Structure 1
Amino acid sequence: MTITNILVCGIGGQGVMTATEILAEAALSLGCDAKKTEVAGMSQRGGVVTSHLRFGPQVLSPQIMPGEADLLVGFEAAEALRWAHMLKPGGVALVNLGRIVPPVVTIGLYEYPEDPVGQMRALGIEVHAFDASAMALELGNIRLGNTVMLGAMADRLPFPAGVLLAAVLARFGARKPQLVDSNRRAFERGRQAVDTRQAVLAAN
């Protein structure tokens, strides 16, 4: 296994850091070396957040440099666009279409792009976009959007999807067993969302 670089970005309160922790736990369960770091624009809910994760046989630094990310996971589409330069050639972006306008937009420091996913595709990036927020609401809890996004990543990782699912259920179901089923369903919705998108792309 070579080193895998994953950059997760979004808005505070979406579970960006939690998702990265679960990914790291899954990698560690297989004996990988894993290192991560987070950068929060504002610590409170609503601020922009990015989280870097690197895992493999040996990892010396958690920092991902521009052009080195294998996977860009955007919990919010505009944030995914802002960090698109971090992807390496051939890297893949998984993007939640559920729109959350960050404070940097509402106070006028940043203009929300009209079509962030379209702009990323115009750059030649392979983007798989789906509304994880809507899926979570359909399942009864907006917080399940975190698990939907993890499910979408599952088949893009260098280990079986079941390893990541086990880490998800260990985190969310350990104290509340009633959450096991809902998180399992959210995880599968995320996997199916990417599969559906791939089928559409293949048909066009």
Structure 2
Amino acid sequence: MSSIKSVLLVGVGGQGTILASNVLSKGLVEAGYDVKMSEVHGMAQRGGSVTTQIRFGEKVYSPIIGRGEADILVSFELMEALRLIEFLKPGGKVIVNNQQIPSAPILAGRVDYPEGILEELQLKADTKAIDAVGIAKELGNEKAMNIVLFGALSKVLELDNIDWEDVIRNTVKEKFIDLNINAYRAGRNI
């Protein structure tokens, strides 16, 4: 637990970014890490950006991740990954859901959704694209895509000493436990 790790989770309102961040933070705290979390979700309920910064280690003084400091960027939407890639450190990893959610200017027809985002991400960082929505749909509810992405993140973090399934059980509503456990397992197996 000597070095500090920084994880940036980004998405669009309604994608479950905050829930995934809460699962991660709870598991880390239970494992004995000092954890600091900061979230920004200004217009999230209207489809705006959601950003969560989580830093953990032996002793963490601030939750804020500066440009070029994130070890891992987990993006629930393609354009959000590209928008915040500058926060990833050299040699950092990107886990990205391959979903495209048009922003308000795109929906209004003022601009087009950018093309080639995944290719650009792959040029800038070690990037793993996941069809998290498709996997979650196969499990019965596309909203579980956040926990599919969390499962992939938990594998990259290599924190196998944490019982993530128990953390999920104690975090999500009872009626969604089985769905989220299955989503977690699917994400781990990617």
The alignment's TM-score, normalised by the length of structure 1, stands at 0.86
Q: Specify whether residues 157 and 137 from structure 1 end up closer, same or farther in structure 2 by C-alpha distance, changes over 3 A only.
A: same
Deviations 1:145-190 (A, max 9, x none): 1110111111112521753332122112xx42x4332222111111
**8 Å Cα contact 1:95-1:127 kept in structure 2:** yes
Deviations 1:46-78 (A, max 9, x none): 111111111111111110000000000000011
Give the AA of the match of 2:163: V
Distance 2:185 2:162 in 1: 11
Q: TM-score, normalised by structure 2?
A: 0.92
Quote the offset at 1:110 in angstroms: 6.0
2:90 is paired with a residue of what secondary structure?
strand
Decide which moves more: 126-135 or 113-122: 113-122
Give me the identity figure in percent. Answer: 38
On the 8 A contact 1:22/1:167 being kept in 2, the answer is: yes
CA distance in 2, matches of 1:168, 1:100: 26
**Residue 180 of structure 2: aligned partner:** 183
Measured in 1, the distance between the counterparts of 2:71 and 2:155 equals: 13
Let me know the Cα RMSD of the aligned residues. 1.7
Question: 1:155 — aligned with what?
Answer: 155
Relative to structure 1, is the Cα distance of residues 184 and 95 closer, same or farther in structure 2, using a 3 angstrom cutoff? same
Alpha-carbon distance between aligned partners in 1 of 2:17 and 2:116, rounded to the nearest angstrom? 22
**Cα deviation 1:115-162 (Å, max 9, x = unaligned):** 211111122x10000110111111111211111011111111252175
2:188 and 2:103 map into 1 onto residues whose CA distance is 27
Contact 2:27 / 2:162 at 8 angstroms: preserved in 1? Answer: no
Q: Could you list the runs of 5+ residues in structure 1 that have no partner in the other structure?
A: 194-204
Q: Match of 2:58?
A: 57
Determine the C-alpha separation between the residues in 2 that align with 1:75 and 1:161.
Answer: 26
- Counterpart of 1:165, as a letter, is E
Give unmatched runs, 5+ long, in structure 2: none
- SS in structure 2 at match of 1:119: helix
Q: How does 1:3-22 map to 2 (within 5 A)?
A: 3-22=4-23
CA offsets, 1:78-99, max 9 Å, x none?
1011111111111000000122
Moved more, 51-60 or 156-165: 156-165
Shift of 1:112: 2.2
Please list, as runs of the form range in 1=range in 2, the aligned pairs for 1:84-163 lying within 5 A after superposition: 84-107=85-108, 111-123=112-124, 125-160=125-160, 162-163=162-163
Q: In 2, are the aligned partners of 1:74 and 1:96 still within 8 Å (CA)?
A: yes
Residues 155 and 108 of structure 1: is their aligned pair in 2 closer, same or farther, counting only changes over 3 Å? Answer: same
